[in-house]
Structure 1
Amino acid sequence: MSIVLIAGSPGSVSRTSALIAFIEGLLEARGFQTDVFDANEFDGNAVFFADVADPQVVRYREAIAKADAVILATPVYQASFSGALKGLLDLVPQRGLKGKVVLPLATGGSDSHLLVIDYAMKPVLSALGASNVLSGVYVSAGQLIRETVSTYRVEEEASTRIQRALDELIEALPAPAAVSGRANPRIAYA
């Protein structure tokens, strides 16, 4: 199973990127293969002009195409998701999220932006063909505690909600096909 994680913050050190790194660690501990893409690691011109021949863009599009699930996180700007994330989503082919489980996440300064996932992110994800968009998780700034200049710690209550969302994502993934005649481990046999 392959899961793509997208950090949609334009900042090199951000709560959003820290959240994605935290989730990557949780998934890898469960044995999942992950590909992480951070908006600030792309060539801005390649994203802005949708240069689908750019090597980073090619790798990103290929990873999305083969992924079973996509987890994307954004900071909240002007009651919506970041332009950096929108630029990355614009690189996904039309219907490019079809058949994928999608988990949206948002980070914001206060709980006033709690509905950004439902009102701003989900319509765009649906336009890209995503039909299995999970509820999502909103994490406020107070739940991402700065420990050093470049690191954040996810507060316990937020961590619990994220782990529940990951459980939901894993449950929604297609069961792996039987390998070498062995029974599928996700199916209980009597």
Structure 2
Amino acid sequence: MSKKSKLVAVSGGLQRPSRTLALVEAIVARIADAVPVDLHIVALSEIAADVGVALDRRNVSAEVEVHLRAIEGADALIVASPVFRASFTGLFKHLFDLVHQDALVDVPVLLAATGGSERHALVLEHQLRPLFSFFEARTLPIGIYASTHDFTNYEVTSAALRERIALAAQRAAPWLHPRREALSQAAALAI
């Protein structure tokens, strides 16, 4: 039996209900159909107050620390943020400011975002991809952008969006395997 990948999905939505969280859940469901995963969801809406008051990693709450460790120990990430003024939310960025800068080296990251219209779609390329390039993560080539009209009652209802999610999940699947253990073993052998 194959080992499950540690998949961490981060939803940067600050409200409940949230189209961003609905998008994340749709992506996760499609990936979980293809690859066995051990899932950890970080819903920023649930920890926003604790993240907002954390000046640095030394003074985060125990709950935020659990989420940060999950992010840092992930075999793969799905990250999604709503778009505000052409970028991700400030708290989404602050959450990743608390992640150790070397923790995501070579970790595959599937990028996603939600916004009011298609004019925000470039947030994937101009905001999210550079953020995760800083971490030296492996941002996957296909990102997912969804606008308000792709949802009905906070559920993905657009056929085109469902197709994009399916394609992204299919292309992400080969990257979703327990990489950290394999990398650690390879490093130990090299010593």
**TM bracket (short chain):** 0.7 to 0.9
Highest relative contact order (Cα 8 Å, sep 6+), 1 or 2? 2
- 4+ residue stretches of structure 1 with deviation over 4 A? 174-178
After TM superposition, give the deviation of residue 95 of structure 1 in Å.
2.2
Cα distance in structure 1, aligned partners of 2:80 and 2:18: 11
Larger mean CA deviation between 24-33 and 133-142 belongs to 24-33
Larger mean CA deviation between 22-31 and 34-43 belongs to 22-31
Which one of the candidate residues 59, 65, 69 is aligned to 1:58?
65
Cα distance in structure 2, aligned partners of 1:131 and 1:43: 26
CA separation of 1:173 and 1:45: change in aligned 2, threshold 3 A: closer
- Aligned position for 1:110: 117
Which one of the candidate residues 44, 48, 57 is aligned to 2:49?
44
Q: Does 2:12 align with 1:8? A: yes
Cα distance in structure 2, aligned partners of 1:169 and 1:24: 11
Which one of the candidate residues 30, 39, 43 is aligned to 1:34?
39
Q: Could you tell me which amino acid in structure 1 is paired with residue 22 of structure 2?
A: A
TM-score by length of 1: 0.82
- Aligned position for 2:126: 119
Q: Could you tell me which amino acid in structure 1 is paired with residue 72 of structure 2?
A: A
Larger mean CA deviation between 18-27 and 62-71 belongs to 18-27
CA RMSD of aligned residues (A): 2.2
Cα distance in structure 2, aligned partners of 1:86 and 1:131: 18
Structure 2: runs of 5+ lacking an equivalent: 183-191
Q: Could you tell me which amino acid in structure 2 is paired with residue 161 of structure 1?
A: R
Cα distance in structure 2, aligned partners of 1:127 and 1:59: 23
Cα distance in structure 1, aligned partners of 2:128 and 2:121: 12
Structure 1: runs of 5+ lacking an equivalent: 179-190
After TM superposition, give the deviation of residue 84 of structure 1 in Å.
2.3
Cα distance in structure 2, aligned partners of 1:175 and 1:67: 9
Cα distance in structure 1, aligned partners of 2:171 and 2:102: 23
Q: Does 2:175 align with 1:172? A: yes
Is the 2:8–2:41 contact (alpha carbons within 8 Å) kept by the matching residues of 1? yes
Indicate the percent of aligned positions where both proteins have the same amino acid: 29
Give the match's secondary structure for 1:10. Answer: coil
Deviations 1:116-147 (A, max 9, x none): 1100111111112213443311111111122x
Is the 2:51–2:94 contact (alpha carbons within 8 Å) kept by the matching residues of 1? no
Q: Could you tell me which amino acid in structure 2 is paired with residue 165 of structure 1?
A: A
Q: Does 2:149 align with 1:142? A: yes
Number of aligned residues: 174
Cα distance in structure 2, aligned partners of 1:155 and 1:93: 37
CA separation of 1:84 and 1:90: change in aligned 2, threshold 3 A: same
Higher helix share: 2
Is the 2:80–2:111 contact (alpha carbons within 8 Å) kept by the matching residues of 1? yes
TM-score by length of 2: 0.81
